[in-house]
């Protein structure tokens, strides 16, 4: 059980306005005595953009949801500072780009990662837009394509969305009578969704085979000229009328924060940032190799528990090994995958969702909270 050991409010700053940041805020407020905390959220935008279902949008299902971040902060008694965090000062202050300087006793960095094009001339599916993939779906429906490749680049962090796009593209091809279209998925992984080693990975492999999607593992696309993808290692050439690729991720590279060569924030096994007392980092901004929303919320919950243990010490909280939970959208019934991320951990695959509520991001606090909130109306509906 979380419990604050001080009767005095402590200043907590959460940097970021995404899933991990809001989960951190919710977990802190859920702690006994959490109302004593003075919490500020510094984020560059005014909306929480919930995008795990965006892979369905190129196929005509607008499922991205937006929530008013200012209203969420007001509901939870936090102050929203509408700026981007640029760095951390030695005197325990979070620094914003427009001059904000927020003193903190505890700081949680949940700023997310930056996306960049990994394979030029391919349609990049990422957080910014999916128009390129929508155009490929349209060309498929018009009978203009014979080969489509889906390429997972090194540094993608979470390859599952590309599997979803490939499976849904296969379903659409079947629906429009384009059964002769050849689909290929290229990934540096050792097997299909290899993080779900064992049962889960084999189930995904069967789905790909049943959908007629060729899997080329242990490879990545080095170049694409509009007709062929050059695969490395081996310089194999794969014919492709169109290519869909995931973006490469880069870290936030914050001033005063220890980062690796790609800008990702260094953390220890308890999400603490070395050399910065009272500072944690969670989610895609960190050196954690798997960039997935559900894991980010588990990190956020553990950090909130550590902060709630008491002022000054911020002792880490012993926790069970993280569990990876994912819903794989197939164009028909989804497949639910789980894996224990520990040495010798097992995985599973089921057509029935093994967690509740059955959101795509399995978050302890955020999922039930959003279930009770109405998203903002999309602009085209105004």
| Ordered domains of the chain (ranges, CATH) | 11-113+251-319+362-375 (3.50.50.60), 116-248 (3.50.50.60)
Query: What's the pLDDT at 319?
Result: 63
Residue 362 clears pLDDT 80, i.e. is over it: yes
Q: What is the mean pLDDT of residues 208-229?
A: 96
377 confidence band (pLDDT: 50, 70, 90) = low
Residue 313 clears pLDDT 60, i.e. is over it: no
Q: What is the mean pLDDT of residues 109-115?
A: 96
Residue 264 clears pLDDT 90, i.e. is over it: yes
366 confidence band (pLDDT: 50, 70, 90) = very high
Query: What's the pLDDT at 128?
Result: 52
Helix (H) / strand (E) containing 137: helix 131-141
Q: What is the mean pLDDT of residues 198-227?
A: 96
Residue 127 clears pLDDT 70, i.e. is over it: no
Residue 3 clears pLDDT 60, i.e. is over it: no
Query: What's the pLDDT at 97?
Result: 86
Q: What is the pLDDT of residues 130-171, one digit of tens each?
A: 578 999 999 999 999 999 999 999 888 999 999 999 999 999
Strand partners, 184: 149, 214
Helix (H) / strand (E) containing 210: helix 199-210
Query: What's the pLDDT at 7?
Result: 44
284 confidence band (pLDDT: 50, 70, 90) = very high
Pairwise CA distance, residues 231 & 215, whole Å = 13
**17 φψ region: left (φ > 0), alpha (ψ -120 to 50), beta (else):** alpha
Q: What is the pLDDT of residues 24-61, one digit of tens each?
A: 999 999 987 788 899 999 999 999 999 888 899 999 87
Strand, helix or coil at 264?
Answer: coil
* Best CA proximity match to 284, nearest among 127, 160, 112: 112
Residue 70 clears pLDDT 90, i.e. is over it: yes
Q: How far does CA 53 lie from the centroid of its chain?
A: 11
Calculate what percentage of the chain has a pLDDT beyond 70. Answer: 92
343 confidence band (pLDDT: 50, 70, 90) = confident
Q: What is the CA radius of gyration of the chain?
A: 21
Handedness of CA 262, 267, 269, 274 (dihedral sign): positive
The chain-wide mean pLDDT, for the chain, equals 91
378 confidence band (pLDDT: 50, 70, 90) = low
Tokens standing for residue 293: 């929303």
Q: What is the pLDDT of residues 79-103, one digit of tens each?
A: 999 999 999 999 999 999 888 899 9
Query: What's the pLDDT at 374?
Result: 87
Contacts of 121 (CB under 8 A, 6+ apart): 224, 225, 226, 243
Q: How many CA atoms lie within 13 A of 230 on its CB side?
A: 9
Query: What's the pLDDT at 235?
Result: 84
Tokens standing for residue 182: 């050849």
Residue 312 clears pLDDT 70, i.e. is over it: no
Q: What is the pLDDT of residues 323-342, one digit of tens each?
A: 999 999 999 999 999 999 88
Q: Are 189 and 143 in contact (CB under 8 A)?
A: no
Residue 252 clears pLDDT 90, i.e. is over it: yes
Tokens standing for residue 201: 């990975």
Q: Are 280 and 269 in contact (CB under 8 A)?
A: no
Q: Are 69 and 48 in contact (CB under 8 A)?
A: yes
381 confidence band (pLDDT: 50, 70, 90) = very low
Where does 168-322 show beta strands of DSSP type E?
182-187, 213-217, 220-224, 228-232, 236-239, 242-245, 248-250, 279-281
Q: Which of the two residues, 357 and 147, has the higher pLDDT score?
A: 147
Query: What's the pLDDT at 309?
Result: 79
């Amino acid at each position: 059980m979380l419990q604050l050991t001080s009767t005095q409010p402590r200043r907590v700053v959460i940097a970021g306005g995404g899933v991990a940041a809001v989960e951190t805020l919710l977990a802190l407020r859920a702690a006994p005595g959490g109302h004593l905390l003075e919490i500020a959220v510094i984020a560059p935008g005014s909306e929480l953009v919930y995008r795990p279902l965006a892979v369905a949008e190129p196929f005509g299902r607008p499922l991205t949801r937006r929530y008013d971040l200012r209203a969420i902060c007001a509901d939870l008694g936090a102050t929203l500072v509408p700026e981007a965090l640029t760095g951390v000062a030695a005197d325990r202050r979070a620094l914003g780009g427009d001059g904000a300087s927020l003193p903190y006793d505890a700081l949680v960095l949940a700023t997310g990662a930056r996306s960049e094009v990994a394979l030029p001339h391919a349609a990049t599916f990422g957080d910014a837009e999916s128009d390129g993939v929508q155009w490929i779906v349209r060309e498929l429906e018009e009978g203009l394509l014979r080969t489509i490749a889906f390429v997972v680049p090194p540094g993608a962090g979470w390859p599952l969305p590309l599997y979803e796009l490939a499976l849904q593209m296969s379903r659409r091809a079947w629906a429009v009578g384009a059964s002769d279209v050849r689909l290929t998925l290229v990934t540096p992984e050792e097997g299909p969704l290899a993080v779900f080693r064992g049962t889960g990975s084999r189930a995904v492999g069967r789905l790909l085979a049943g959908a007629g999607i060729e899997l080329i593992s242990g490879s990545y696309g080095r170049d694409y000229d509009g007709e062929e993808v050059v695969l490395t290692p081996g310089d194999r050439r794969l014919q492709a009328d169109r290519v869909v690729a995931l973006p490469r991720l880069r870290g936030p590279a914050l001033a005063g924060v220890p980062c690796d060569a790609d800008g990702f924030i260094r953390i220890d096994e308890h999400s603490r940032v070395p050399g910065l007392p009272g500072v944690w980092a969670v989610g895609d901004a960190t050196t954690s190799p798997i960039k997935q929303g559900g894991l980010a919320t588990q990190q956020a919950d553990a950090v909130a528990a550590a902060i709630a243990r008491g002022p000054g010490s911020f002792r880490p909280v012993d926790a069970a090994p993280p569990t990876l939970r994912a819903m794989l959208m197939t164009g028909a019934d989804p497949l639910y995958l789980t894996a224990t991320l520990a040495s010798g951990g097992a995985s599973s695959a089921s057509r029935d969702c093994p967690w509740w509520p059955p959101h795509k991001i399995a978050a302890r606090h955020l999922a039930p909270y959003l279930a009770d909130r109405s998203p903002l109306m999309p602009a085209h509906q105004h």
